[in-house]
Structure formats: structure tokens, C-alpha cells
Amino acid sequence: MSKAEFSVKRARSIRRALVNLIDKSQICPRRNTHLDSVALALFSRMAELHETICLLASKGRLRDAVVLARTLCEANISLYWLTNDRESDERVDRYVMFAGQVTLENMVRIKRHFSYDYVPKDPREINLLKQATILFRKDRYRWNPVPIGQMAAESDTFGPVPPGKPSSMEPVYELFYYWFSLLAHPCIEAIENFLPPWGIPFKCGRPSTHQSLPERHVVFLSTCWLFSMALRISKFSLIRSEDELGRIWARLKRS
């Protein structure tokens, strides 16, 4: 078994352990806050995405795995920031309210290109759209009112942080999110493996032995970020078994 295959196998095993831990916790989202539902839904979606990353990696499509892993990295930072305001639900409420802004934007674009007027009739939807119009009047295209780098740099309110450990997500953003973004966008870094040599007829799909740092570590880092999301959920007491999380972390560190 190759090292890459072993890494994917270990990653899948750790993901299953995290998912089983969430399921065993029998978490019932509270009615008076969106935080529980959003956190659990975000984790579940990223666990699904993690399997897709593993599938790509197992087929040798590491660069494509990096493109998807950037989304997992962003979700990790987003969950960190959403849960970091322990005094108010303003952040998570805005996150949920963005669904209304998406509907408003779709109404504008469909009318512009297809001359179709969508008229909402459900009172709840009408109220949601009114609130979204006010909330997103200054920025129609982002749910987060601050840039992701600023979200990541915010000090963790769930401290204390052990000596020598970062007190925020800033290193994750400044290093990994940046590196992974370079391969997710069609810039020169993303096509480096495909640049043809001089004087040789070009063929699509010509293999390259070059692998960037994100490609070499995409499975491990993606699994770390998924673990980080589960750990974050445990911070606001939805997961009761911190000992089991510790055992999963020990397995991850041995990879």
C-alpha cells in the first residue's frame, strides 16, 4: 500500500469517527438560536466534501482535491468566526438571513435577462426579503460583514490558549488558505503543471511529476480542518465526549 493510499484510508477512518461522535451525541438543535443548526449543517456538508477530496486524492487528482479543500478551509474559518461572539446571535442570524439576499439577487437577475417578475406570496418570505434588503444594503454579495482574513485574525474567545499555540485562525488563513487559493483560481500557479516544454508538440493531459506543498498534504490538512470544526462544536457543549475527541486527535497526529 502506497503512502497516498494509506493517508486516504486513515483520513476516511478519522472522518467516520468524527461523524459517529456527532451522531452518538444526539444533539437536538435549540429553537431559540440558529447557531446549533448552522454549525451542524456546516460540519455535515464538509464531511461530505471531505469524502470527495479523498476520492480525488485516491485517483491521483491532488490538484483538484486542493481546489475543494480550500472550501473546507474557508468553512473552518467561518465556523470559528460565527461561534466566536458569545454574547450575541447577530453573526449567525446574518448568515441565515443571507438566504433572503440570494433570493433578492435572483429576482433582479432573472428579471433583467428573462423579463420575469417573481412576486413572493408567503408572508414569511416577504418578511425575510424585507429584512435582507435592510441588512445587506451596503454589500449584496457577501454574508460576512468583514473579510475572511479579519475573521481569522480575531482572538479566540473560548481560551485560554496553551503557551506556544496560536490564539486565532490567522496562521490557517495566511498560509493554507492563501496557498490553496492559488490553485483554486486560474492564475499561473494553477496551471504550472500544464505548461508545455519548448519545441515539443503539445498534448493535453501530459503528466507532470511536480507536486506543490498543498497537493502533498491536502488529505491530512483537510482532515485536520474537519476535526477543527468538530472541536469547535464541542466548545459550545454540543458534544459531550471530549475524551473521545482527544483520542481521535491522537490518531490524526500519528498519521
pLDDT at 225: 97
d(CA 214, CA 147) in angstroms, rounded, equals 23
Sign of CA dihedral 150, 78, 97, 109: positive
pLDDT at 206: 67
Q: Which residues of the chain have pLDDT under 50?
A: 1-3
- CA 137, distance to chain mean position in Å, is 26
Torsion angle in degrees (nearest 10) through CA of 226, 229, 231, 236? -160
pLDDT at 192: 84
Tell me if residue 134 falls in helix, strand or coil. Answer: helix
Q: What is the pLDDT of residues 134-182, one digit of tens each?
A: 999 999 999 999 999 999 999 999 876 666 677 899 999 999 999 999 9
Say which DSSP state 146 is in: S
Q: Cite the DSSP H helix spans in the chain.
A: 3-24, 35-58, 62-82, 90-114, 123-135, 148-153, 170-171, 178-184, 213-235, 242-253
pLDDT at 163: 67
- b/e 13-26 (16+ beta carbons within 10 angstroms → b): ebbebbbebbeebe
